[in-house]
């Protein structure tokens, strides 16, 4: 959402001294100013994320979490930071089951509840990232966001539409209605939206630090909101209380982890390890695709293999990936060449496999080929609303960062007087436990457990130096969007702006391929001849998959930042010194 004094949206910027791409001109402008004042990529990413908490409050907030990958130019290594929310200690595998029916709560009831709120991870992640690699303190980095929250930003159609999607439930929750439906109305396009409560919260956070949430008064306010949702007494909506208490906040810590790594076409591709499934699933699919060669002259063939590799990798994701602190995740085997070859042999050159396909056996004993199976778990729902940013600085450090509160509007619960929404990340768990004797599910709720995610902040190195950084929102479509952008860029001869703008399709081991209309128009007939069936992606928004951000190093010091040209109103790409 544009703010006073910030640049207009532009999808591509090329230049020197650092670069940034986000969905929002205000956030991109904030990151750019940090870079211009000598801050590094980590500093700029934190400042931009704080700004997104103001201008994109329905997808990014300190009431949520996220995943971040970081390339450190000094050590020439990639690091992963897990800021995923955790379940409270009182959560059980059947906490989302209605005792009256024995079935999982209807999804809309599970989302708009205290039950859906995980322990927020964003502030702990910022603290860890800044301590490891930052050069500025949080107090300094919050200042631009505080200014925008005080002075406001201009409401655009996207902000109004996101509010409208939530209007009915927002009206039932008093502090949410007061903040996002001023005078009881949807905010008008062109009006100024201010959030003085969030400005005050950020000012207090600047003084007290993240401990104010995890061990202090702000945490107690969050717990009170979760346990006693501030619902209008006149509302008929059943907003269930949650299970969180202050001990859950005190026990939380963001994690630094070893990123996933695969080699694709001689490039090193790094991603986010479990609890996210992004790195393992993108990596496995790339390993499968690496068994084949593609040509820009035959995109249909490449897209057929892309859809089939996605199908296989999603089957394995559903069967094996969860929080590695709670379940055994065979990450190394999922990313092994032997397993990829075993899976690749199932792909027929001119015939799509009937989905859902069965998971493979990443057990270290790999045959040249195995027959396809017949059973698999249904695709779990993940809200498609998130936001992604990429940042590079003049030293060559790079951040790829996906931040989220899950749905547009998260749980719908605003902490009274604090100006931010709480997440609904716990609905990323499998809400219905499997029947006795059924295949185990690695993504069931459990105390302190991180729900599985699809977030895939990705960094690609060439000869040990950064080449690409990409990522996107989109729930479980995140993985396929990142994978398709890589295929477009590395195999189909597109430059990064074209790779990112190209029409998308997502195959997540479902009977049909969901796609944007432009993809169906361009490739649907030829792919249907190979057995693929297509359906328009249901959204929201209908027909739009993801809202990616990326950057590419074109030459030493020369960076091209790339944002969406049209999806979700377009993004904002900026560089410190534009190339002439």
Cα atoms in the Cβ-side hemisphere of radius 13 Å centred on 548: 33
Q: In 17-58, where does DSSP find H-type helix? A: 25-36, 41-55
Q: Are 414 and 80 in contact (CB under 8 A)?
A: no
Q: In 173-245, where does DSSP find H-type helix? A: 174-180, 196-208, 211-214, 217-227
The conformation of residue 541, written as its DSSP 8-state character, comes to S
Taking CA 172 as the corner, what is the angle to CA 169 and CA 175, rounded to the nearest 5 degrees? 105
| CA-to-CA separations, 229 to 55, 155, 195, 222, 528, in angstroms, rounded | 24, 28, 21, 10, 48
Question: How many helices (DSSP H) and strands (DSSP E) are in the chain?
Answer: 19, 20
Q: Residues with Cβ < 8 Å from 468, sequence gap 6 or more?
A: 458, 459, 460, 486, 489, 496, 550, 551, 552, 553
- DSSP 3-state of 310: helix
3-state secondary structure 149-167: HHHCEECCHHHHHHHHHHH
Strand partners, 460: 269, 468
Q: Are 513 and 525 in contact (CB under 8 A)?
A: no
Active site residues: 386
Least Cα distance to 301 among 362, 340, 351 occurs for 351
Strand partners, 78: 71
């Amino acid at each position: 959402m544009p703010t006073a004094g910030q640049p207009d949206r532009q999808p591509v910027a090329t230049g020197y001294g650092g670069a940034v791409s986000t969905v929002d001109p205000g956030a991109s402008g904030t990151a750019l100013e940090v870079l211009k004042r000598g801050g590094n990529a980590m500093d700029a990413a934190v400042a931009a994320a704080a700004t997104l908490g103001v201008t994109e409050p329905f997808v990014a907030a300190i009431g949520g979490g996220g995943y971040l990958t970081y390339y450190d130019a000094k050590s020439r290594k990639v690091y992963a930071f897990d800021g995923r929310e955790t379940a409270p200690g009182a959560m059980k595998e059947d906490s989302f089951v209605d005792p009256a029916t024995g079935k999982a709560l209807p999804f809309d009831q599970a989302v708009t509840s205290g039950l859906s709120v995980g322990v927020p991870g964003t502030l702990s992640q910022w603290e860890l990232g800044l301590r490891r690699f930052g050069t500025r303190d949080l107090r300094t980095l919050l200042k631009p966001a505080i200014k925008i929250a005080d002075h406001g930003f201009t409401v655009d159609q996207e902000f109004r539409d996101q509010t409208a999607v939530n209007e009915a439930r927002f009206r039932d929750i008093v502090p949410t209605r007061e903040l996002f439906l001023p005078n009881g109305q949807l905010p008008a396009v062109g009006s100024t939206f201010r959030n003085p409560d969030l400005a005050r919260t950020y000012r207090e956070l600047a003084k007290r630090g993240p401990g104010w949430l995890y061990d202090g008064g702000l945490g107690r306010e969050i717990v009170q909101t979760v346990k006693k949702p501030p619902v209008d007494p006149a509302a008929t909506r059943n907003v269930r209380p949650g299970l969180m208490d202050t001990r859950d906040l005190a026990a939380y810590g963001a994690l630094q982890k070893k990123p996933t790594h695969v080699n694709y076409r001689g490039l090193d591709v790094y991603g986010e390890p479990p609890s996210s499934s992004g790195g393992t699933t993108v990596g496995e699919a790339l390993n499968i695709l690496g068994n084949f060669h593609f040509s820009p002259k035959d995109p249909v063939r490449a897209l057929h293999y892309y859809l089939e590799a996605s199908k296989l990798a999603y089957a394995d994701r559903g069967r094996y990936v969860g929080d590695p602190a709670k379940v055994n995740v065979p990450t190394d085997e999922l990313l092994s060449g032997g397993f990829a070859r075993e899976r690749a042999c199932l792909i027929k050159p001119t015939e799509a496999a009937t989905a859902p396909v069965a998971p493979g056996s990443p057990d270290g004993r790999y045959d040249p080929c195995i027959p396809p199976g017949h059973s698999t778990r249904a695709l779990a729902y993940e809200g498609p609303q998130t936001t992604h940013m990429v940042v590079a600085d003049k030293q060559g450090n790079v951040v790829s960062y996906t931040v989220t509160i899950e749905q547009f509007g998260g749980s719908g619960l605003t902490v009274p007087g604090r100006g931010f929404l709480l997440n609904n990340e716990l609905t990323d768990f499998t809400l219905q436990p499997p029947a006795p004797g059924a295949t185990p599910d690695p993504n069931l709720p459990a105390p302190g457990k991180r729900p599985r995610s699809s977030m895939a902040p990705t960094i690609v190195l060439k000869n040990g130096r950064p080449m690409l950084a990409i990522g996107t929102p989109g729930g479980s479509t995140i993985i396929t969007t990142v994978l398709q952008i890589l295929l477009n860029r590395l195999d189909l001869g597109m430059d990064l702006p074209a790779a990112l703008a190209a029409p998308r399709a997502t195959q997540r081991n479902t009977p049909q391929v969901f796609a944007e209309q432009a993809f169906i128009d361009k490739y649907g007939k030829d792919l249907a001849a190979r057995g693929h069936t297509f359906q328009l992606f249901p959204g929201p928004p209908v027909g739009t998959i993801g809202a990616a951000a990326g950057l590419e190093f074109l030459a030493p010091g020369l960076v091209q930042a790339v944002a969406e040209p049209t999806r979700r109103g377009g993004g904002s790409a900026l560089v410190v010194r534009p190339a002439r």
